[in-house]
C-alpha cells in the first residue's frame, strides 16, 4: 500500500462505521456506533500503541497498550464498580484501584524477585464489617512463592500459599 490512505464512512441501519487507514506508518482509527454501543479503536503498529474505548450500556472500558515499553492502562466501569489497572512490565509496577459499593481499595504492587513487591496501600470506607477481597499474585514466576493479599478491616496482609 505504500503511502496508501483509506478513509471510509459507512452507515448501515443504525450502525455507523468510520475507518481511517495509513499502511505506511500503519495507523488504524476505527469508530463504530452500533445502537448504544460505541467502539473507538486507534492502532499504531510502528511503536505498537493500541487505544480502545468501549461503551456497552452502562459499562465503559478504556484500554491503552504500548508494547514497546509494555504499558497497559485499563479502566472499567461496570455499574457502580470501577476498576483502574495500570501495568508497567519494564520495572513491573501494578496499580489497581477498585470501588465496590462503599468500599474503596487501592493497591500498588512492585514485582521484585519474589514476584510480589512490598509496596501496597489500601483504603476503605467500611469500618464495621470485614471485607473478603483477595488479590492473587498473577505475576509469580515458577521459582517464586505464590502470595495472596488478604483484605480485612486492618488493610491488606501478605500471605503465602
Q: Report residue 151 as a C-alpha cell.
A: 483484605
Looking up cell 480502545 gives 52
The pTM assigned to this predicted structure is: 0.23
pLDDT at 86: 53
Mean pLDDT in order along the chain per 10 residues (161 residues): 46 52 50 50 47 48 46 49 50 49 47 38 34 31 40 48 46
pLDDT at 72: 47
pLDDT at 160: 54
CA distances from 54 to 46, 61, 97, 110 (A): 23, 5, 19, 29
Longest distance between any two alpha carbons in the chain, whole Å: 64
Amino acid at each position: 500500500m505504500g503511502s496508501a490512505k483509506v478513509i471510509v464512512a459507512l452507515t448501515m441501519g443504525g450502525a455507523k462505521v468510520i475507518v481511517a487507514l495509513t499502511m505506511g506508518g500503519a495507523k488504524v482509527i476505527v469508530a463504530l456506533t452500533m445502537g448504544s454501543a460505541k467502539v473507538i479503536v486507534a492502532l499504531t503498529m510502528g511503536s505498537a500503541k493500541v487505544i480502545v474505548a468501549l461503551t456497552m450500556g452502562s459499562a465503559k472500558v478504556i484500554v491503552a497498550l504500548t508494547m514497546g515499553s509494555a504499558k497497559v492502562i485499563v479502566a472499567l466501569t461496570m455499574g457502580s464498580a470501577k476498576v483502574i489497572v495500570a501495568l508497567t512490565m519494564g520495572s513491573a509496577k501494578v496499580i489497581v484501584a477498585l470501588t465496590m459499593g462503599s468500599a474503596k481499595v487501592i493497591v500498588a504492587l512492585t514485582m521484585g524477585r519474589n514476584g510480589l513487591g512490598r509496596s501496597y496501600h489500601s483504603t476503605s470506607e467500611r469500618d464495621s464489617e470485614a471485607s473478603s477481597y483477595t488479590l492473587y499474585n498473577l505475576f509469580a514466576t515458577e521459582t517464586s512463592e505464590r502470595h495472596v493479599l488478604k483484605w480485612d478491616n486492618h488493610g491488606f496482609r501478605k500471605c503465602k500459599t
